[in-house]
């Protein structure tokens, strides 16, 4: 493209609540623009991972470049980024938004505005993006277009004629959306990239934002970039401003959505570069790529030093779990797999951990339980690793009577207020040393039809939520505003609120701060051995109920053994709940017929003795299936 042609570029993201049809609408755009031939088209083509297609959810952001002639017969280059809708993957959305100038806000006409519609809209407004409102799925008989339009007008204060009606199924409205993108979304400019306007955007020193990355066995680290200023060519020596790492751009290209080498990317464009980095720590999302010549203060031939772009806020993990290889000798493989996965999952955090029972592993942070589940699944599929996951826990702040007894490692976890931050039940110090414990709270927004409000409010109260207020979207639907402990919302709240509202409620939450909590550590014993991975922190007044639930769930989930197994929950060594998992009884008398009672009794006696022996030997060797914690949490 010539200098003038930056004016013919439009970069935008598609935002919506989960399942409102982002990936399907993107399919129609790819067809209309001829980016993918109709015969090669498959549903939700931008969901690149098998896992996404099987589950029908988008997990990763996905960019794609399309060329299309809109009215007036002028060809435009559209760079679209499809984003996930689930709250656990919001970081993917916010990173996408920093790389574009506009956003399509899709609302399903049968559902109306939902919790992530609002959350994503606010993210887009923070980035000052142009918003194009679209009512989607208008082909469905249950679509209520008028009502949805009214909700949108109320929300963003736009006029009715600005809202486009579309269907990702029939393709209706898709050309209008692209036309609106041309009219309303600004072309990239040095100004939108945060720089001055004195030079052409192409002539400025290179500054490109890394908004995502992945690891390629052959080409090393691939960085997904938005070039803000200047240009980057294959073979160019690059410098990363935050990590100070140097390398060579082995390749540069665009997404079709496959990688297509073009040899160069210019200001305003979105694409990838193969960085040549083999060490995954050298390339981080949010970093700025420039040319090695501009790295030194002032650079060569520059009047002022090149400064890094704004980058991203660090994400705050909400829930933590221990990750251990199932086979102890796979620790090294696990470490390498996690490093590579981190490149493609920027919200993942981890640090090494050692446990007496589980060996070497990692304490990892996630944005929610779905994030953790997906992570576990990806390790298995992409790296062929089976792992043990300990019961997830939020981070607690523990105020100690004295920090003198803490070792060096734990002193590092003292925060600015002097509290010890713990991410695992095992880090909880002895009760006698504790002055108070605090837990994280969230602001909770639930969008719900009026008829289900009562049931929802009862549920939230059960979850220790504190009512703030109710805001009506229209006469039939409202937003309930609450605050609640994060620990009660992360577990089964989502499933339960869906169930009490016949699926109509939607939920969004955000960390808001810490509040005092009366909690204790509960241990779980199987065959009288403590199972470290199942320990959890529970509210003192719920401990008996939780203990009972846990041993009952274990009884249902654990495979039966040749001997009876005791299942117990205990607090500070005192058993608070107990169950027995009966033995698998092999029918040793099967071959007997007739009424020889003594012979039968003898055989059974022999079996009993054998089992006793096995139990003595087999104590603690009961294998706990790796998904047990999910079953326990979701009870
Ligand atoms: P996430 O990324 O997981 O949040 O989902 P999404 O917003 O990308 O939604 P997706 O495109 O996966 O569509 C969700 C479901 O709605 C799928 O079953 C689609 O087939 C269906 N769907 C999407 N758009 C339309 C539409 O315009 N009309 C009809 N009838 N169905 C649609």
Best substitution site from 165, 168, 506 to test ligand 1's pocket, by max atoms within 8 Å of Cβ?
Answer: 168
Q: How far is the CA of 57 from the centre of ligand 1 (A)?
A: 9
- The residue to which tokens 């009214």 are assigned: 150
Locus of tokens 């399309």: 66
Atom of ligand 1 nearest to the CA of 52: 3
Beta strands in 31-129 (DSSP E): 62-70, 74-82, 102-108
If you measure from the C-alpha of residue 478 to the centroid of ligand 1, how many angstroms do you get, rounded to a whole number?
24
Ligand 1 midpoint to CA 484 (Å)? 31
Check residue 608 and give its pLDDT: 63
Q: 245: which 2 tokens?
A: 């790492």
Q: What whole-number distance in Å separates Cα of residue 82 and Cα of residue 92?
A: 10
State residue 283's pLDDT score: 85
- Compute the distance between CA of residue 10 and CA of residue 101 in angstroms, rounded to an integer: 7
Residue 606's pLDDT is what? Answer: 65
Counting ligand 1 atoms within 8 A of each CB, the residue from 14, 23, 29, 143 with the most, and so the one to mutate, is 23
- Atom 10, ligand 1: which residue's CA is nearest? 21
Sheet holding 270-274, edge to edge: 246-248, 237-240, 288-291, 207-216, 220-229, 270-274, 251-255, 259-261
pLDDT of the residue at 190: 59
pTM of the predicted protein model:
0.82
Residue 292: the pLDDT is 83
Q: Using CA atoms, how far apart are residues 268 and 271, in angstroms rounded to an integer? A: 10
Two tokens, residue 195 = 């720089």
| Closest residue to atom 13 of ligand 1, CA basis | 21
Q: Ligand 1 mean position to 543 CA, how many Å? A: 42
Residues of the chain with pLDDT under 70: 1-4, 190-199, 295-305, 585-597, 599-600, 602-604, 606-622, 626-627, 629-630, 633-635
The token pair that represents 525 in the structure block: 């014993």
Beta partners for residue 437, in sequence order? 398
Residue whose CA lies nearest to ligand 1 atom number 2:
58
* Residue 129 tokens, joined: 């993006």
Which residue's CA is minimally distant from atom 28 of ligand 1? Answer: 137
Nearest CA to ligand 1 atom 20: 24
Number of the ligand 1 atom closest to the C-alpha atom of 106: 7
- If DSSP states are collapsed to H, E and C, what string results for 268-326? CCEEEEECCCCCHHHCCCCCEEEEHHHCCCCCCCCCCCCCCCCCCCCCCCCEEEEEEEC
Task: Ligand 1 pocket test: pick from 22, 24, 41, 140 the residue with the most ligand atoms within 8 Å of its Cβ.
Answer: 24
Q: What angle do CA 529, 534, 539 make, to 5 degrees?
A: 115
Q: Report how far ligand 1's centroid is from the alpha carbon of 270 (Å).
A: 25
Give the whole-angstrom CA distance, residue 257 versus residue 255. Answer: 4
Ligand 1 binding pocket (C-beta < 6 A) is 16, 18-24, 44, 56-58, 84-85, 136-137, 139-140, 167-169
493 C-alpha to ligand 1 centroid (Å): 24
Residue located nearest, by CA, to atom 22 of ligand 1: 21
């Amino acid at each position: 493209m010539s200098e003038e042609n930056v004016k013919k570029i439009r970069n935008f993201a598609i935002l919506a609540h989960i399942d409102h049809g982002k990936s399907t609408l993107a399919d129609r755009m790819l067809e209309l623009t001829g980016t993918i031939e109709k015969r090669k088209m498959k549903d939700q083509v931008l969901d690149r991972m098998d896992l996404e297609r099987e589950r029908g959810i988008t997990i990763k952001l996905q960019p794609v470049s399309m060329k299309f002639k809109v009215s007036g017969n002028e060809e435009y280059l559209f760079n679209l980024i499809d984003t996930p809708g689930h709250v656990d993957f919001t970081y993917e959305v916010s990173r996408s938004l920093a790389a574009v100038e506009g956003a399509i806000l899709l609302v399903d006409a049968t559902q109306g505005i939902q919790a992530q519609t609002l959350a994503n809209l606010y993210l887009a407004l923070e980035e000052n993006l142009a918003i194009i409102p679209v009512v989607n799925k208008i082909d469905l008989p249950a679509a209520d277009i008028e009502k949805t339009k009214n909700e949108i007008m109320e929300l963003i204060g736009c006029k009715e004629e600005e809202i486009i009606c579309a269907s990702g199924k029939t393709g209706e409205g898709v050309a209008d959306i692209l036309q609106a993108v041309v009219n309303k979304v600004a072309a990239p400019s040095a100004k939108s990239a945060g720089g001055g306007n004195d030079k052409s955007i192409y002539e400025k020193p290179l500054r490109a934002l890394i908004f995502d990355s992945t690891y390629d066995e052959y080409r090393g680290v691939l960085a997904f970039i938005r070039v803000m200023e200047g240009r980057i060519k294959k073979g160019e020596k690059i410098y990363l401003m935050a990590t100070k790492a140097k390398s060579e751009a082995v390749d540069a290209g665009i997404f079709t959505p496959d990688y297509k080498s073009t040899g160069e990317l210019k200001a305003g464009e979105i694409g990838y570069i193969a960085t040549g980095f083999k060490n995954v720590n050298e390339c981080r999302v949010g970093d700025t790529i420039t040319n090695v010549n501009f790295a030194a203060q002032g650079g060569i031939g520059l009047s002022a030093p090149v400064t890094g772009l704004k980058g991203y806020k660090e994400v705050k993990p909400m829930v933590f779990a221990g990750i251990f290889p199932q086979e102890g000798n796979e620790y090294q493989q696990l470490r390498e797999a996690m490093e590579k996965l981190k490149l493609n999952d920027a919200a993942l955090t981890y640090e090494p951990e050692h446990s007496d029972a589980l060996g070497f592993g990692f304490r990892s942070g996630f944005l929610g339980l779905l994030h953790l589940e997906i992570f576990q699944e990806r390790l298995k599929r992409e790296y062929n690793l089976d792992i043990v996951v300990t019961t997830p826990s939020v981070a607690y702040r523990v105020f100690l009577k004295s920090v003198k007894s803490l070792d060096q490692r734990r002193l590092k976890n003292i925060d600015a207020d002097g509290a010890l931050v713990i991410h695992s039940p095992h880090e909880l110090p002895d009760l006698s040393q504790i002055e108070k414990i605090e837990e994280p709270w969230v602001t909770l927004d639930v969008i719900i039809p009026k008829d289900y409000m009562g049931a929802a409010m009862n549920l939230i109260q059960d979850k220790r939520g504190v009512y703030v207020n109710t805001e009506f979207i229209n006469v039939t639907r409202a937003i309930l505003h609450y605050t609640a402990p994060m620990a009660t919302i992360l577990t089964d709240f989502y499933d339960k609120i869906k169930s009490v509202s016949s699926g109509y409620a939607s939920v969004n939450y955000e960390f808001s701060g810490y509040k005092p909590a009366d909690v204790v550590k509960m241990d779980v014993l199987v065959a009288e051995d403590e199972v470290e991975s199942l320990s959890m922190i529970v509210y003192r007044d719920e401990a008996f109920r939780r203990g009972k639930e846990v041993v009952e769930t274990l009884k249902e989930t654990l495979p039966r053994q040749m001997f009876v197994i005791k299942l117990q929950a205990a607090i500070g060594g005192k058993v608070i709940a107990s169950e027995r998992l009966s033995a698998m009884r092999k029918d040793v008398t099967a071959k007997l017929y007739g009424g020889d009672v003594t012979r039968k009794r003898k055989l059974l006696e022999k079996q009993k003795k054998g089992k006793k022996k096995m139990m003595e030997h087999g104590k603690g060797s009961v294998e706990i299936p790796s998904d047990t914690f999910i079953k326990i949490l979701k009870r």
